[in-house]
């Protein structure tokens, strides 16, 4: 599947514009991580873009989230490594994340929310106005961006990345698409 086809599928399946922006942000982070690890950027970015494809259908049923998406992606003929990463990114299922791709998606998913929240509380409300130190400070504030699971973000260590390096790569990726994100 090519990116344009994947993006069209996302826009067909996901009606919430902020969720689409989240999926674009995860796509960018995954592509940056692929570059960092010299992995296939197409596979990694598609995984990020499609990871919440079922969210509108499963919003009221967290037990189904990512299972429905994985089934959809299988039907579209996506490779099993992408399908598995999407299915295992929902910790609810307890599916082991053994591949680097799966581990990266698991950590990338919540970090985008932390970064967006940090940008929105900054006086300039721009991704370009924040840096890794600003993110680390917000990361350590218990009540800030509660939906951004800190333990899941810290799973970047399973990739051999320290938190500051992971935050830096993620921020850089999102700054690269700041216009699409409106930040």
C-alpha 140, offset from chain centre: 20
Place of tokens 């990739």: 159
Query: Residue ranges of the domains in the chain?
Result: 3-181
Q: Whole-model pTM above 0.85?
A: yes
Higher pLDDT, 92 or 2: 2
pLDDT at 93 (0 to 100): 80
Distance (Å, whole) CA 120 – CA 125: 5
Question: Residue 154 gets which letter from DSSP?
Answer: H
Q: Which helix (H) or strand (E) holds 8?
A: helix 3-13
In degrees to the nearest 10, what's the CA dihedral of 26, 27, 30, 36? -120
pLDDT at 20 (0 to 100): 97
Distance (Å, whole) CA 64 – CA 133: 37
CB 53 within 8 A of CB 10: yes
Average the pLDDT over each of 58-67, 129-138, 164-173 and give the range with the smallest value: 58-67
pLDDT at 25 (0 to 100): 98
> Which CATH number does 3-181 carry?
1.10.3210
Q: Which helix (H) or strand (E) holds 155?
A: none
CB 118 within 8 A of CB 130: yes
pLDDT at residue 115 above 90? yes
High-pLDDT (> 90) share of the chain, %: 93
Distance (Å, whole) CA 180 – CA 175: 10
What confidence tens digit (pLDDT) does each residue in 63-91 have? 899 999 999 999 999 999 999 999 999 88
Nearest CA to 48 out of 172, 157, 182, 170 is that of 170
Interval 142-165 mean pLDDT: 95
């Amino acid at each position: 599947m090519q990116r344009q086809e994947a993006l069209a599928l996302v826009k067909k399946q996901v009606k919430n514009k902020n969720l689409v922006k989240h999926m674009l942000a995860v796509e960018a982070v995954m592509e940056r991580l692929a570059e960092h690890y010299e992995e296939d950027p197409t596979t990694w970015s598609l995984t990020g873009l499609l990871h919440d494809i079922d969210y509108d259908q499963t919003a009221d049923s967290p037990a189904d989230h990512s299972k429905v998406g994985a089934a959809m992606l299988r039907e579209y003929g996506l490779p099993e490594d992408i399908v598995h990463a999407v299915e295992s990114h929902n910790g609810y299922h307890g599916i082991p994340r053994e591949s680097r791709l799966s581990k990266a998606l698991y950590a990338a998913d919540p970090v985008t929310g932390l970064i967006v929240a940090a940008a929105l509380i900054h006086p300039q409300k721009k991704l370009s106005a924040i840096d890794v130190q600003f993110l680390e400070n917000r990361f350590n504030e218990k009540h800030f961006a509660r939906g951004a699971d800190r333990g899941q973000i810290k799973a970047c260590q399973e990739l051999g990345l320290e938190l500051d390096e992971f935050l830096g790569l993620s921020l850089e990726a999102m700054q690269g698409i700041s216009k699409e994100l409106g930040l």
